[in-house]
């Protein structure tokens, strides 16, 4: 819905690790995108190259206390980066308006904690997007790829059966969440984490390169279990109409 190319968490994660003297790449930061942020940090620390760099910088292997310290560092960085990147993706608002015109409720789930998500919700609301329900990291016993955030949203919105729920996500773990819940699952290719480019950078690519990268993102999301893929949220309504 916001942050074309999913840049905010990448920048924040890189800054948080840099504060500990450890450099991580965009590709490393993106690999486990969509997980609860604490789980994401743990996964990064288990990466062999990052684990080696951490030991060299800190003189010992990382432990769970380091996860908590990184999360403490990450919280304000994530809030700042997310607020800067919270512009609605073109077509997002009109897609939501079309869904609501059909009586469909709109929920959001995220790997951000509630504190991280607060500025995003504020900026999105200023642009006319207020979801009917939001589930944040830490508000269920486990995050993605378990279906618990979807279950929580559906229970609190009074929505059932799960086969009539549409899950839209740009990450493999988010697609797996939708499949685990039994939802019709839509993967987003061009505007998401798999592409990792701003709208301007994507448009500037040679056409063949752009299509090749979109195809690679599509392949990964379909392998994770997506029923269909779309380039951006702007294409959601047509694909749902064609699927029903």
CATH of the domain at 115: 3.40.50.1000
pLDDT band for position 9 (cuts 50, 70, 90): very high
Give the residue from 56, 84, 112 where a domain finishes.
84
pLDDT at position 36: 94
Computed from CA positions of residues 138, 142, 146, 149, in that sequence, does the dihedral angle turn out positive or negative?
negative
Per-residue pLDDT for 50 more than 70? yes
Last residue of a domain, one of 22, 55, 84: 84
Range of the domain at 217: 92-243
191 and 110 inside one domain: yes
Do 105 and 72 sit in the same domain of this protein?
Answer: no
Note whether residue 2 is domain-resident: no
Q: Which CATH number fits the domain that encloses residue 14?
A: 1.10.150.240
Count structural domains, the chain: 2
Check whether residue 40 and residue 79 sit in a common domain.
yes
132 and 154 together in one domain: yes
Indicate whether 206 and 152 sit together in one domain. yes
CB 230 within 8 A of CB 236: yes
Band (pLDDT 50/70/90 cuts) for residue 28 is very high
Assessment of whether the complete model's pTM goes beyond 0.75: yes
Does residue 169 surpass a pLDDT of 90? yes
Residues 147 and 28 in one domain: no
Chain CA centroid to CA 215, Å: 19
The answer to whether residues 96 and 182 belong to one domain is yes
Return d(Cα 148, Cα 131) in angstroms, integer: 18
Residue 113 located in a structural domain? yes
Beta strands in the chain (DSSP E): 107-109, 133-135, 166-169, 184-188, 228-230
Is residue 231 situated within a structural domain?
yes
In a domain, 1, yes or no: no
Residue 80 has pLDDT above 90, yes or no: yes
pLDDT reading at 213 higher than 70:
yes
Confidence of residue 110 (pLDDT cuts 50, 70, 90): very high
Q: Is the pLDDT of residue 244 over 80?
A: no
Return the ∠ at Cα 12 (arms to 109 and 30), rounded to 5°: 65
Confidence label for 243 from pLDDT (cuts 50, 70 and 90): confident
């Amino acid at each position: 819905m916001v942050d074309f190319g999913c840049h905010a968490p990448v920048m924040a994660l890189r800054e948080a690790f840099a504060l500990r003297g450890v450099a991580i790449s965009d590709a490393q930061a993106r690999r486990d995108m969509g997980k609860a942020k604490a789980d994401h940090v743990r996964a990064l620390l288990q990466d062999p190259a990052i684990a080696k760099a951490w030991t060299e910088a800190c003189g010992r292997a990382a432990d769970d206390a380091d996860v908590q310290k990184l999360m403490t560092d990450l919280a304000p960085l994530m809030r700042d980066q997310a607020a800067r990147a919270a512009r609605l993706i073109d077509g997002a608002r009109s897609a939501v308006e079309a869904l609501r015109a059909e009586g469909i409720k709109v929920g959001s789930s995220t790997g951000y904690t509630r504190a991280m998500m607060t500025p995003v919700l504020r900026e999105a609301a200023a642009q006319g997007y207020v979801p009917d329900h939001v589930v944040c990291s830490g508000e269920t016993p486990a995050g993605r790829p378990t279906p618990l955030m979807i279950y929580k949203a559906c229970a609190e919105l009074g929505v059932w059966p799960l086969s009539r729920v549409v899950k839209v996500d740009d990450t493999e773990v988010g697609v797996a969440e939708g499949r685990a819940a039994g939802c019709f699952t839509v993967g987003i290719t061009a505007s998401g984490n798999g592409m990792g480019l701003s709208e301007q950078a994507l448009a500037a690519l040679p056409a063949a390169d752009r299509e090749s990268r979109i195809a690679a993102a599509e392949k990964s999301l379909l392998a994770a279990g997506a029923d269909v893929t779309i380039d951006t949220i702007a294409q959601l309504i047509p694909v749902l109409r064609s699927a029903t």
